[in-house]
Amino acid sequence: MNLVDDVDLVLPDLRWNPHLFHQTADVIHRVVGSSVQLVNVERGVVVEGTARLAFVAGLKVLGGVEAVDGLGHDTGTGGLAHATRTAKQEGLCQSVVADGILQGVGDGALTHDGVEGHRPVFSCGYDKIFHIGKLWFQTDKGTTFRCYFREVATFIRFFAFCIENRPIFVPMKMLVLVPKVTGRVMYVFDLVLEQLLGIEYDLTTDFEQFNTFEGSKLHYGMQRLGDEPFVKAVDILFERHIHEQSFRTVEFEGTMAPYAVYGQGNLLPFDVFAASFFLVSRYEEYLSQVRDQYGRFRAESTWMFENGMMQKPLVNIWALALGNKLKAIYPNLKLKQLKFTFVPTYDVDAAWAYKCKGLYRTLGGFVKDLTSGDRERIRERHQVLRGKRKDPFDSFDFQFELQKEFKLKPIYFILCGDYDTNDKNISIRKPAFQALIKRLGDYADVGIHPSFSSYLDVDKLRMEIDSLSEVLHRPLTKSRQHFLRMNLPRSYQKLIELDISDDYTMGFASQAGFRAGIADTFRFYDLENDMVTNLRVHPFALMDGTMRDYLNLDVEASFALATQLVDGVKAVGGTFIYLTHNETLGGEKRWVGWPEMYRQLLEYITKAPEP
């Protein structure tokens, strides 16, 4: 980490020119070797030395380095006013010198005043050094080092520079003591501490290192050792196999949480890391064989649904609660600033209701309408095909207007599989459909919408990806399964095999809310192979069809539900992903009023927050 951004102290050959110590120059940064934090600034006692210039660490510019590290060890330069007095050894960034510039490369032993003895850090045989200012720094490894200044002006100039150019000092990492470092432990700590809270951390199993560490720290284990911040652990993160989980549920700050723990000194009444892993890894989906008519895991079988927590971003809420607890213990701990994000997504299951269907499909449609006696549909189909009426599914101009008005950055997922019972889009070989796809690609990101029939069929899915990629003239990296038909871990394993990096399927068709209990992107953890993958999962919170077809909500009730979910995501600074279709935004028949509702929702989402 760079200690100073633009201007750092340069130490020339101070052995004969100590008065140059206060010079500054716009040169290579002084590197400490680990992140540092300004801990304290204080005035030191004026001390006079009579020996040649010598550092406690024995630094000799343009020459060798001789360490002064023994108890009461004199510098050996003769005439030293006061020998360095040592109370204990302390690790410190070891200095290497080239042309007078210090660069940290590791840890070395350095003398340290256990009780401040006001001895000189460096002294001169013929010149007098006055230790006026002293800066204390602390590295992320818990070690401490100090900078001494010869003149008051030097100290003031350096300190003013630091204040003027903030942020200069990088907060040190938190040290986390765990019984064992496993893939699951690293995964969930990365998610909760680093991604959601913005806390950089190191894991350790060394109690002595943890005990002597002077910075912020957290103990995650089975039993508390002292008065350290403590989260009691259960077994799930230290296992490798998948089995039925037995846990108690506890109420916590308006939510329910699994893996309740008991005992004194726990920061939270449940294992927040185990609970987060259980939800985000979709652990329970590996165990239950209950599926709906399309082979999908049922939302009603989840722990969240059973406890009424489906519509709360639990992992985000729990992470913020943990962060607040840690912040209360370590006031200088910097947490990630909350930032709400909205991502509109559109599934193009059928670009048009009547256009470009081909002769046989068009004739079949007329016959079906005649058989059912649907004269209105016959008239509508005829008018669209003659160009006298706009196709009811063609809402793309309306979508482009919304994108421009609200500065949206949407993602389109295009179904381009062969025609089948549940795959009824236009053939990707049709020039008109290709032109539409290219137009969409000009306005937004485009991803593959794997067909119903390509479910777990990697060869068929590869053909669909290649076909769409060929039209767009670019590789595809985003995906969302048609019908939200997904099997864990098989579906994701197939996507990884085909170089898909981002999936947007994580959500339920029958229920609104958060399938993985989180309103943020996360990396897929493959429980079958017990490993984290590079596939990024983007969970959506709400789909138009969920409200209209599964929950049987009207437009007003749907808007109320949508805003409720948006408010919940805004409260935790998460990402709200909405799923809709071009058919819905056509606003005809069963979708009357939905385009207006969508515009109203966009206004609600993008409005400036209240002061």
Domain match, 385 and 446 both: no
Residue 306, C-beta contacts closer than 8 angstroms, at least 6 positions apart: none
Q: End of a domain among 131, 164, 197?
A: 164
Residue 13 DSSP symbol: -
pLDDT at 373: 86
Report the C-alpha gap between 166 and 162 in whole angstroms.
Answer: 6
Percentage of the residues of the chain whose pLDDT score is greater than 70:
71
Residue 58: pLDDT over 90: no
Is 543 part of a structural domain of the chain? Answer: yes
72 Ramachandran zone, left/alpha/beta (phi>0; psi -120 to 50): left
Tens digits of residue pLDDT in 440-453: 999 899 999 999 99
Is 589 inside any structural domain? yes
- Mean pLDDT in residue range 406-429: 95
The pLDDT tens digits of the residues spanning 184-217 come to 999 999 999 999 999 999 999 999 999 999 999 9
Give dist(CA 155, CA 147) in Å, integer.
Answer: 10
Question: In Å, how far are 134, 168, 196 from 161, measured between CA atoms?
Answer: 15, 10, 32
The strand pair at 217-221 and 230-232 is best described as parallel
Q: What's the pLDDT score for residue 249?
A: 98
Q: pLDDT value at position 33?
A: 38
For residue range 505-551, what is the model confidence (pLDDT) as tens digits?
999 999 999 999 999 999 999 999 999 999 999 999 999 999 999 99
For residue 376, what pLDDT is reported?
A: 87
The arithmetic mean of pLDDT across residues 477-503, rounded, is 97
Which of 462, 337, 413, 356 is CA-nearest to residue 582?
Answer: 413
The whole-angstrom distance between residue 170's C-alpha and the CA centroid of its chain comes to 19
> Lowest-pLDDT range, 93-102, 116-125, 325-334, 600-609?
93-102
- β-strands 174-177, 531-537: how paired? unpaired
Q: What is the dihedral of CA 490, 495, 501, 505, to 10 degrees?
A: -70
In the DSSP assignment, the letter for residue 221 is: E
Q: Are residues 385 and 396 in the same domain?
A: no
- Do 375 and 405 share a domain, yes or no? no
Structure tokens at 496: 């990884």
Q: Give me the pLDDT at residue 172, please.
A: 79
Higher pLDDT, 283 or 166: 283
From 64-73, 465-474, 505-514, 557-566, the region with the lowest mean pLDDT: 64-73
Residues 440 and 571 both lie in one domain: yes
Q: DSSP code of 547?
A: I
| Burial class of residue 99, CB neighbours in 10 A (0-12, 13-18, 19+) | exposed
Residue 133 — φ and ψ, nearest 5°? Answer: -105, 150
In a domain, 336, yes or no: no
pLDDT > 50? residue 347? yes
Going by pLDDT thresholds of 50, 70 and 90, the confidence category of residue 158 is: low
Q: Do residues 412 and 447 touch, judged by C-beta distance below 8 A? A: yes
- Higher-confidence residue: 509 or 608? 509
Q: 56 falls in which pLDDT band (50, 70, 90)?
A: very low
Question: First-to-last CA distance in the chain?
Answer: 36
Q: Is the peptide bond before 258 cis (omega within 30 degrees of 0)?
A: no
Residue 331 has pLDDT above 90, yes or no: yes
Greater pLDDT, 293 or 93: 293
89 and 133 both lie in a single domain: yes
Question: Is position 3 within any domain?
Answer: no
Give the pLDDT confidence score for residue 18 in this predicted structure: 38
Report CA-CA distances (Å) from 243 to 186, 268, 284, 358, 362.
20, 25, 9, 51, 52
pLDDT in tens, 8-31: 343 334 433 434 434 433 333 333
Whole-number pLDDT of residue 25 = 35
Question: Quick one: average pLDDT of 385-413?
Answer: 96
Whichever domain contains 559, its CATH number is 3.20.20.370
For residues 314 and 360, membership in a common domain is answered with no
Over 60: is that where the pLDDT of 123 sits? no
What CA–CA distance (Å, rounded) separates 559 from 563? 6
Q: Is residue 138 part of a domain?
A: yes
Same domain for 211 and 125: no
Looking at the structure, tell me whether residues 475 and 386 fall in a common domain: no
Domain boundary at 164, 189, 213, which?
A: 164
Query: Ranked by mean pLDDT, which of 165-174, 357-366, 585-594 comes out on top?
Result: 585-594
- With vertex at residue 289, the alpha carbon angle to CA 283 and CA 295, rounded to the nearest 5 degrees, is 105
Residue 173 CA neighbour count, 13 Å, CB half: 16
- Average pLDDT, stretch 157-178? 70
| Last residue of one domain, picked from the residues 164, 195, 225 | 164
Q: Within this chain, do residues 475 and 424 fall inside the same structural domain, yes or no?
A: yes
State the Cα–Cα distance between residues 580 and 545, nearest whole angstrom.
8
Q: Is residue 36 part of a domain?
A: yes
Which pLDDT score, from 0 to 100, does residue 307 have?
98
Range 61-74 average pLDDT:
39
**Which of 92, 93, 86 shows the shortest CA–CA distance to 117?**
86
Counting the structural domains of the chain, the total is 4
Residue 1 falls inside a structural domain = no
Residues 91 and 204 in one domain: no
Contact 512, 551 (CB under 8 A): yes
How far is residue 556 from each of residues 315, 379, 510, 605, measured CA to CA in Å?
29, 31, 19, 16
**d(C-alpha 564, C-alpha 240), whole Å:** 38
Over residues 338-353, the mean pLDDT reads 97
- pLDDT given for residue 153 in this prediction: 66
CA distance 120 to 128: 11
**49 pLDDT band (50/70/90 cuts)?**
very low
Co-location of 221 and 259 in the same domain? yes
Mention every residue, 6+ apart, whose C-beta is less than 8 A from residue 261: 232, 234, 269, 270, 271
What pLDDT shows up at residue 263? Answer: 86
Q: Which residues lie closer than 8 Å to 123 by C-beta, 6 or more apart?
A: 47, 48, 49, 50, 51, 52, 53, 54, 80, 81, 82, 129
Structural domain span for residue 378: 355-390
- Tell me whether residue 400 is in a domain: yes
Is residue 111 scored above 70 in pLDDT? no
pLDDT, averaged across the chain: 81
- pLDDT for res 361: 87
Residue type, 18: P
d(C-alpha 547, C-alpha 578), whole Å: 12
pLDDT the model gives residue 289: 84
Q: Do 127 and 187 have their domain in common?
A: no
